Amino acid sequence: MSRPVLWITRKLSDATEQRAARDYEVILNPEDRVYQADEIVAMSAKVDAILPCHSEVFSKDVAGRLSDRVRIIANHSVGVDHCDLPALQARGIVVTNTPDVLSDATAEIALLLMLGAARRASEGDRLVREGRWVSWSPSFMVGRQTTGKKLGIVGMGRVGLAVRRIVSGLGMEVHYSNRRRLPPETEQGAVYHDSVDDLLGAVDVVSLNCPSTPDTLNLMDARRIGLMRPGAILVNTARGNLIDEAALAEALRTRHLFAAGLDVFKTEPSGNAELALLDNVFVLPHIGSATRETRDAMGFRALDNLDAFFAGREPRDRLV
């Protein structure tokens, strides 16, 4: 019996590609190039399954043109905003993702962004690297301390809960906003707010950990940024389109916000040139889940879903 043909759209971890080659007829992408819509459609005629990343966009148009041969799209990501799920479901294509395995790595980056923004890490790094650190005084590079402050988590899902856990050593009082209140045993003393608006003015740091949906597009617009406490810090490890970047830049220039820590942007790759010029922004190139351990775990989780599907079982992480 012939093995299913699997297209892995990007360069994944060695362990993932080796396991895939053991069990499937694999088409790899050693050059790690990004495939565009027409190329995705053309490749779909050659494969039974696709293992993509968020860089491959399965829009309504693309979903409608995919070959009938494609039976499953096993995403190498948690977020699936690059997939038009109703359109893929209408084609009878199963879609899965990789939850759980990247929560801790993303929470680590959220902590790094929060501390980097609060302690002016980008500004200090540039001073040293550019040879401009020529003096010291008690008023030099004074930042904000996060220990004992109030942290607001927007979206208390897997990553939000991991952020709550990882900041526990800082003694931060955790507040959160979520689609529904968590049970007490999960909440563990965190303060629930039934709206994002109510949360924003109650905390010193806001961490965005909610999914990208039509309802969360530009969630942090000028009005909501204005609701944040003067001198607050905004952290985003979720998706770039949660923030109105022009409004954020204005709030940082006027010092309504003390700083921001950003791992994601509306335009990726490249980010936002206006924000990158500001000293009070600590930026990273979307590396929230970029650890060796997490990359292996994500690849294996995607392959687990494929294995289950082709064995006639329900994939663990089926979305449609």
Q: What is the separation of C-alpha 198 from the centre of its chain, rounded to a whole number of angstroms? A: 24
Q: CB 11: neighbour CB atoms within 10 A?
A: 15
Q: Catalytic: 119?
A: no
C-alpha Rg value of the chain to the nearest Å: 21
Active-site residue (options: 239, 245, 295, 301): 239
27 near 47, Cβ under 8 Å? yes
What single string gives the DSSP state of each residue in 120-178? THHHHHHHHHTT------TTTT-----TT-EEEEE--SHHHHHHHHHTGGGTPEEEEE-
| Catalytic residue of the set 164, 286, 295, 301 | 286
Cis peptide before 269 (omega within 30 of 0): yes
Q: Which of 265, 237, 293 is nearest to 111 (CA)?
A: 237
Reported in sequence order, the residue ranges of the chain that DSSP labels E, i.e. its strands, are 5-8, 25-27, 49-51, 72-74, 94-96, 150-154, 173-177, 191-193, 205-208, 232-236, 257-262, 281-283
Distance CA 35, CA 240 (A): 21
**Is 91 designated active site?**
no
Q: Which of 17, 25, 123, 268 is catalytic?
A: 268
Length of the chain in terms of residues written = 320
Rounded to whole angstroms, the Cα distance separating 188 from 22 reads 44
Q: Say whether 268 is catalytic.
A: yes
Q: Which residues are catalytic?
A: 239, 268, 286
